[in-house]
Amino acid sequence: MQDHGIFVQQWPTILGCDVAGDVFEVGSGVDRFQKGDRVIGHSTPFPNGRPSDGAFALYTIVSADKASILPDHIPFTDGVVVPFAVESAVCALSVKEPGPCMPGVFTPALGLPLPTLEGHTSPIKKTLVVYGASASTGAMVTQLATAAGITVIAISGSHNFDLAKQCGAAEVFDHKDTSLVENVVAAVKNLNADFVGIFDAISIPETFERDLEILKALGGGHLAGTHPPPTEDLPSNIHTGMIFAYSDITAPVYRDFVTGALQSGKLKCLPPPTIVGKGLEYVNEALKMCKAGVSATKLVVEL
């Protein structure tokens, strides 16, 4: 966004989508929160176009439908890794009809159930492959899919296997393994469940190539990415889409799932944060670190 001005339509513009802190004021008609509550939230400066909605500020306006109470035992620096990842993961997993994401690119429509605190009375015999399960969104997709009763086969670096398993992955495979495609295909087939498709948190040409090999070997399915996936010369049984991390479908998850799941440990603040510094002056440094690339962590600036 700094390099290309994507989403920046006016000045001033305040970016940032993850917040954690104390409620300073509550809008009219809001009954889930009160002043002084500890909360986490997904701020939405891009769809709304309002600087007041950006997270890189001392005060931020957040929709009550995109916020949750943060349990007292969880520090703000841990809780803040959750909200945007939740928004992204729910949009990746549970949207039922494809919609426009950007010109020529549609959102995925996997139509999977939302996560629940209670679990499901009968198993949901569905399998999802998550490529990049140690990345922020990949880790959350793994957690929420597992909480919805879906079996996750994960792909990550071998040094991040434990993190992927903490998130609920049934099996994890090394992305550097020359037999990756064959191993993932065999693992999915061994489950004897309905194969939904792949969520690719990395979404670069190399990972998309492997995604398509897996999908073709398994008879097709969905491919949901964080960047535009391939759309040309695809078999009719492969459906691709790019997530747009903003939807009303996420409201029940913030309202009914996040707080209770954090309290019980069903939802974990993963990947763990790396605290860059304290103060708005550290935001630019954090953005540079993010651009350079990080693995199995979420960069956090305290205010």
**Furthest-apart CA pair in the chain: how many Å?**
57
- One domain for residues 146 and 264: no
Please state, in angstroms and as integers, the Cα–Cα distance from residue 183 to each residue in 63, 77, 155, 188, 223, following that order.
43, 37, 11, 9, 18
- One domain for residues 230 and 101: yes
Q: Is residue 11 part of a domain?
A: no
Q: What is the pLDDT of residue 10?
A: 78
Residue 297: pLDDT band with limits 50, 70, 90: very high
Mean pLDDT of 22-43: 96
Q: What percent of the chain has pLDDT over 70?
A: 96
Per mean pLDDT, which range of 29-33, 102-106, 189-193 is the poorest?
102-106
- One domain for residues 295 and 261: yes
Q: What is the pLDDT of residue 211?
A: 98
Residue 70 in this model has a pLDDT that exceeds 90: yes
- One domain for residues 110 and 53: no
- One domain for residues 270 and 144: no
CATH number at residue 32: 3.90.180.10
Q: What is the pLDDT of residue 124?
A: 80
Q: Is residue 5 part of a domain?
A: no
Residue 270 in this model has a pLDDT that exceeds 90: yes
- One domain for residues 77 and 207: no
- One domain for residues 40 and 142: no
Mean pLDDT of 52-74: 96
Of 223, 242, 261, which residue is a domain's last?
242
Q: What is the pLDDT of residue 51?
A: 87
- One domain for residues 99 and 216: yes
**For the purposes of burial, counting CB atoms within 10 Å of the CB of 87, is it exposed (0-12), middle (13-18) or buried (19 or more)?**
buried
Q: What is the pLDDT of residue 8?
A: 75
Q: Is residue 59 part of a domain?
A: yes
Q: Is residue 10 part of a domain?
A: no
- One domain for residues 255 and 191: no
Amino acid at residue number 105? V
Q: Is residue 3 part of a domain?
A: no
- One domain for residues 94 and 75: no
Of 197, 212, 242, which residue is a domain's last?
242
Residue 198: pLDDT band with limits 50, 70, 90: very high
Angle at CA 44, nearest 5°, toward 38 and 48?
Answer: 135
- One domain for residues 33 and 165: no
Mean pLDDT of 61-73: 97
Question: In a 3-state reduction of DSSP, which class is residue 27?
Answer: coil
Residue 115: pLDDT band with limits 50, 70, 90: very high
Of 199, 224, 242, which residue is a domain's last?
242
Q: How many domains does the chain have?
A: 2
The domain containing residue 77 runs over which residues?
18-84+250-302
Q: Is residue 162 part of a domain?
A: yes
For the chain, what is the mean pLDDT? Answer: 93
CATH number at residue 191: 3.40.50.720
Q: What is the pLDDT of residue 9?
A: 74
Q: Is residue 269 part of a domain?
A: yes
Mean pLDDT of 103-122: 84
Q: Is residue 34 part of a domain?
A: yes
